[in-house]
């Protein structure tokens, strides 16, 4: 409209629903849970024809300190929950000790930054923890599955990387991820596998495709947001995977999406209690056991638990969310799977994946001291705040209302424009990039030919911690200074902390040498993508956060990335009744295959 009439205009859109059979309070609850997102929607009863559109309120800087020093354990745990930090007691004690040594209280933005960076979503505390594993009776879980000829336990714990067999028969696993999945990968590389180009380092793993090209794959879950708002949770889940591919190395082109959904059975909820076969999902209840108590492995009462959405709605909307986001970017969903189990009624599992291709020379990338920090793409709003820490919490029936703001709002068309900018900027100094620019490109030929390679040194997406995770990760070895007032906003009124930790979608952060910034600006203007320089990478390891000339936060990057206490967990395996009845014998795979194929 602005382009057509040549003037600044404001536009608001809405939907009208006619609801019968509910009073005002019931209709309001229905609207808030099923029809509207309170982060971006206003709910009105009756006709609504405003004379003007609402505006945000300007934010007045207020640097808030959080009292931490001197708190006892109970107060620390209460602060962690009430402030939506979701850090455990050991982590809260570590932060408390750090600020005791500094002789001051943490500022709110510093505490939020630590919570985001130390969240399960960002740092994978469970997978990197120290685990003391034991099985029932001190034997390994494969004790009943010994080799039929040698009678030896097929799992040999001694000599495995990162595994220590204790005197009591338990096994200590140091860093579960590093000692298992990563160890197996590195063993293959040591044995001569030469097509692993980047593993456990970047936003996605990269393998060689041929002498010139590489393939990268990224899969993530978006469970908690999808439990609250399935369509938006799944759409932004696949959107985040697409951005991870785009932010791998110096940028890969997303070419395909995939998904796996684990949800409760969609039929029968609201009927009388029933029992289902754990494998077929068929009703196994008979007249003789109609009053029997609910069995964990075979049945569930079918009334929806408080705070849960109907599984039929969850499944329909997560499928649509992944499909619609990818289709609008021209990225097909090439495969998918669904698993039904009533135990997923409270927390569906939503796996989203993306595949990308890239030139092999684009593998890698590292921010450099003195580079400009560039925000590219969508504007920042309140959607997605506490998305990272929320993922570390246990879902309860209150979270749909308490964490509606943690579900992001996606815009696939914006992400497609960002994708086009990144790939043009990546290839700018290559023959392909110059060819794509063409003679009509809005840049002087002399300026084009002076660019010898990619216009940026490094790239990543604004993950679950927004700017805090993107800038914090890219500047982990360097430090950075950011000016938050320069970040483009969706509306007025966001505090400095909200700007810093929001996970608003479709945003990438680039590390750009100062001399390349004018060229990147021209590409962004040509593709109608907003780009803003809002900081600089340092060389002293300090993360300095500023707002309107004032320092609102300052954190040592070593504390941010290396200060988290090591999590220690106890793990035990207790054989199921089915396992005991089988005497540990492995399943008859031929019979199982025949059963599955009919």
Query: Domain spans of the chain?
Result: 1-53, 55-129+367-566, 195-286+298-364
Tell me how far apart the alpha carbons of residues 294 and 276 are, in angstroms, rounded to a whole number: 11
As given in the structure block, the two tokens for residue 159 are: 């000599």
Segment 51-76 mean pLDDT: 85
The CATH class of 55-129+367-566 is alpha beta
What pLDDT band is residue 294 in, cutting at 50, 70 and 90?
very low
| Dihedrals phi, psi of 163, to nearest 5 degrees | -115, 135
Short-list 181, 160, 182, CA closest to 171: 160
Strands (DSSP E) along 24-129, which ranges?
none
Q: Is pLDDT above 80 for 416? A: yes
As given in the structure block, the two tokens for residue 144 are: 């009943």
Of 585 and 296, the one with more pLDDT: 585
Tens digit of pLDDT for each residue in 222-248?
898 888 889 989 999 999 999 999 999
Segment 435-456 mean pLDDT: 52
Mean pLDDT, the chain, whole residue set: 83
Q: Is pLDDT above 60 for 286? A: no
Lowest mean pLDDT among 81-85, 160-164, 193-197, 291-295: 291-295
Q: What is the pLDDT of residue 445?
A: 45
Tell me how far apart the alpha carbons of residues 528 and 236 are, in angstroms, rounded to a whole number: 22
CATH number of 195-286+298-364: 3.30.1330.10
Q: Is pLDDT above 90 for 597? A: no
Segment 48-71 mean pLDDT: 83
Q: Which residues of 121-159 are buried (b: 16+ CB within 10 A; e: fewer)?
A: bbbebebbbebbbbbeeeebbbbbbeeeeeeebeeebee
Segment 553-566 mean pLDDT: 95
| Dihedrals phi, psi of 475, to nearest 5 degrees | -100, 20
Q: Is pLDDT above 70 for 442? A: no
Q: Is pLDDT above 60 for 415? A: yes
Strand 130-135 and strand 372-377: the pairing is unpaired
| 105-119, 284-298, 307-321, range with greatest mean pLDDT | 105-119
| 266-270, 287-291, 486-490, range with greatest mean pLDDT | 486-490
Q: What is the pLDDT of residue 586?
A: 67
Handedness of CA 359, 364, 369, 374 (dihedral sign): positive
Q: Is pLDDT above 90 for 595? A: no
**Distances, alpha carbon 467 to alpha carbons 112, 460, 487, in Å:** 12, 10, 10
Short-list 189, 217, 186, CA closest to 204: 217
CB 470 within 8 A of CB 128: no
What pLDDT band is residue 134 in, cutting at 50, 70 and 90?
confident
Lowest mean pLDDT among 296-305, 511-520, 564-573: 296-305
As given in the structure block, the two tokens for residue 359 are: 């030139």
pTM of the predicted model as reported, rounded to 2 decimal places? 0.80
Lowest mean pLDDT among 72-76, 118-122, 198-202: 118-122
Short-list 347, 324, 350, 325, CA closest to 336: 350
CB atoms within 10 A of CB 264: 25
Place of tokens 């985001």: 116
Q: Is pLDDT above 70 for 39? A: no
Dihedral of CA atoms 576, 580, 581, 582 in degrees, nearest 10, equals: 100
Place of tokens 């040194």: 457
Q: What is the pLDDT of residue 110?
A: 97
Strand 299-300 and strand 205-208: the pairing is unpaired
Apex CA 414: angle with CA 527 and CA 497, to 5°?
115
- Cβ neighbours of residue 175 under 8 Å, at least 6 residues apart? 128, 129, 130, 162
Quick one: how far is CA 407 from the chain centroid?
Answer: 11
Tell me how far apart the alpha carbons of residues 56 and 58 are, in angstroms, rounded to a whole number: 7
User: In the chain, what is the straight-line distance between the N-terminal and C-terminal CA atoms, in Å?
Assistant: 59
Q: What is the pLDDT of residue 316?
A: 94
Q: Is pLDDT above 60 for 452? A: no
């Amino acid at each position: 409209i602005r382009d057509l009439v040549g003037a600044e205009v404001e536009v608001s859109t809405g939907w009208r629903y006619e609801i019968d059979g509910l009073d005002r309070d019931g209709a309001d609850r229905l609207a808030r849970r099923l029809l509207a997102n309170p982060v971006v929607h206003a709910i009105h009863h009756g006709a609504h024809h405003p004379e003007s559109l609402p505006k945000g309120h300007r934010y007045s800087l207020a640097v808030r300190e959080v009292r931490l020093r001197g708190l006892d354990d109970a107060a620390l745990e209460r602060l962690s929950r009430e402030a939506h930090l979701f850090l455990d007691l050991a982590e809260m004690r570590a932060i408390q000790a750090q600020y005791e040594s500094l002789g001051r209280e943490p500022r709110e933005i510093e505490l939020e930054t630590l919570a985001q960076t130390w969240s399960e979503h960002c740092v994978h505390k469970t997978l990197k923890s120290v685990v003391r594993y034991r099985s029932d009776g001190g034997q390994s879980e494969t004790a009943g599955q010994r080799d039929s000829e040698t009678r030896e336990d097929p799992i040999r714990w001694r000599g495995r990387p990162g595994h220590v067999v204790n005197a009591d028969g338990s096994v200590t696993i140091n860093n579960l991820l590093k000692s298992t999945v990563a160890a197996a990968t590195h063993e293959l590389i040591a044995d001569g596998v030469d097509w692993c180009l980047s593993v456990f380092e970047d936003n996605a793993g990269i393998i060689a495709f041929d002498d010139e090209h590489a393939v990268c794959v990224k899969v993530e879950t978006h469970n908690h947001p999808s439990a609250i708002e399935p369509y938006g949770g799944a759409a932004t889940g696949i959107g985040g995977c697409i951005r991870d591919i785009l932010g791998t190395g110096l940028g890969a082109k997303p070419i395909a999406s995939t998904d796996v959904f684990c949800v409760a059975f969609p039929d029968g909820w609201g009927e009388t209690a029933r029992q289902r076969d754990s494998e077929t999902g068929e009703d196994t209840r008979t007249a003789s056991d109609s009053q029997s108590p609910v069995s964990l492995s075979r049945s569930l009462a079918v009334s929806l638990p408080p705070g849960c959405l109907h599984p039929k709605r969850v499944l329909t909307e997560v499928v649509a969310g992944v499909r619609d986001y990818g289709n609008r970017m021209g990225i097909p969903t090439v495969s998918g799977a669904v698993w039904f189990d009533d135990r997923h009624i409270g927390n569906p599992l939503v796996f989203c994946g993306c595949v990308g291709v890239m030139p092999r020379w684009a593998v890698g990338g590292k921010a450099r001291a003195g580079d400009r920090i560039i925000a590219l793409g969508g504007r920042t709003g309140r959607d997605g705040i506490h998305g990272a820490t929320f993922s570390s919490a246990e879902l309860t029936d209150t979270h749909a209302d308490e964490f509606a703001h943690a579900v992001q709002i996606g815009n696939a068309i914006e992400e497609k424009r960002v994708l086009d900018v990144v790939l043009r900027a990546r290839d700018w100094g290559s023959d392909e990039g110059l060819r794509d620019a063409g003679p009509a490109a809005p840049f002087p030929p002399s300026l084009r030919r002076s660019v010898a390679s990619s216009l940026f040194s490094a790239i990543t997406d604004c993950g679950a911690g927004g700017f805090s995770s993107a800038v914090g990760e890219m500047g982990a070895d360097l430090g950075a200074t950011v000016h938050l007032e320069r970040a483009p906003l969706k509306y007025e009124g966001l505090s400095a902390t909200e700007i810093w930790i929001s996970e608003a979608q479709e945003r990438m952060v680039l590390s750009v040498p100062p001399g390349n910034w004018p060229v990147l600006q021209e590409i962004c203007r040509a593709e109608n993508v907003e780009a803003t320089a809002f900081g600089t990478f340092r060389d002293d390891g300090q993360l300095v956060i500023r707002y309107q000339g004032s320092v609102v936060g300052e954190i040592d990057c070593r504390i941010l990335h290396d200060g988290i206490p090591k999590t220690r967990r106890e793990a035990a395996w207790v054989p199921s009744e089915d396992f005991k009845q089988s005497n540990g014998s492995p399943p008859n795979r031929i019979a199982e295959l025949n059963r599955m194929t009919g």
